[in-house]
Amino acid sequence: MFKFLGAIIIFTACTSFGLIKSYKMKKRCDSLSTLLLSLRRICAETSFTKKRIERIFCEISREFNLPIFFKAASLIKTEGVRGAWEKSINEYSADMCLSPRDVSAALTLGNAADFSGEEQQKSLRTCERLLELSLAEAKDDYQRGAKLSRSGGILCGILAVILLL
């Protein structure tokens, strides 16, 4: 009886591990896609309107349901744009399943605040290109690794059950 219960628990744990790994890969793709869309919105807002960056961040936070922008908007007055964005990214990167490379690409958004006009747009476009590269890498990882993670978790669970019984 205990052997059977142990086999079920081991199989469930291994399968769950594979499914969670696959979910994190998918969430990374979704997070980068949303960040890229929000960055494009920031580009449009800064080039066509004279809204303050705090207001743009609040609007994006509501529209895309991203707390990262709300946190940054609330910290801008005390930390400045770069410091607020850096703290916000560091706090939410684990929740968004971002890799260190993705975080460094997203951090370049804080640099755009140092410029104005055409220089700011160039900085935003640079950030956009970096996020596009990260998104392409994440999609590639997801396509190659998600099915492998799910299948690997199930197969490891089956192997452990066979060895246990």
Q: Taking a C-beta distance cutoff of 8 angstroms, is the pair 159, 5 a contact?
A: no
Q: Taking a C-beta distance cutoff of 8 angstroms, is the pair 103, 89 a contact?
A: yes
Q: Which two tokens stand for residue 93?
A: 């990167």
Distance of CA 32 to the CA centre of its chain: 5
Residue 147: how many CB atoms within 10 A of its CB? 12
pLDDT at position 115 is 58
CA–CA distance from 23 to each of 26, 33, 103, 158, 164 (Å)? 5, 15, 19, 21, 28
Q: What is the mean pLDDT of each run of 10 residues along the chain (165 residues)?
A: 84 90 93 91 82 84 87 86 89 91 86 69 86 92 89 88 82
The 10s digit of each residue's pLDDT in 112-156 is 765 566 777 888 888 889 999 999 999 999 998 888 888 888 898
pLDDT at position 116 is 66
pLDDT at position 114 is 59
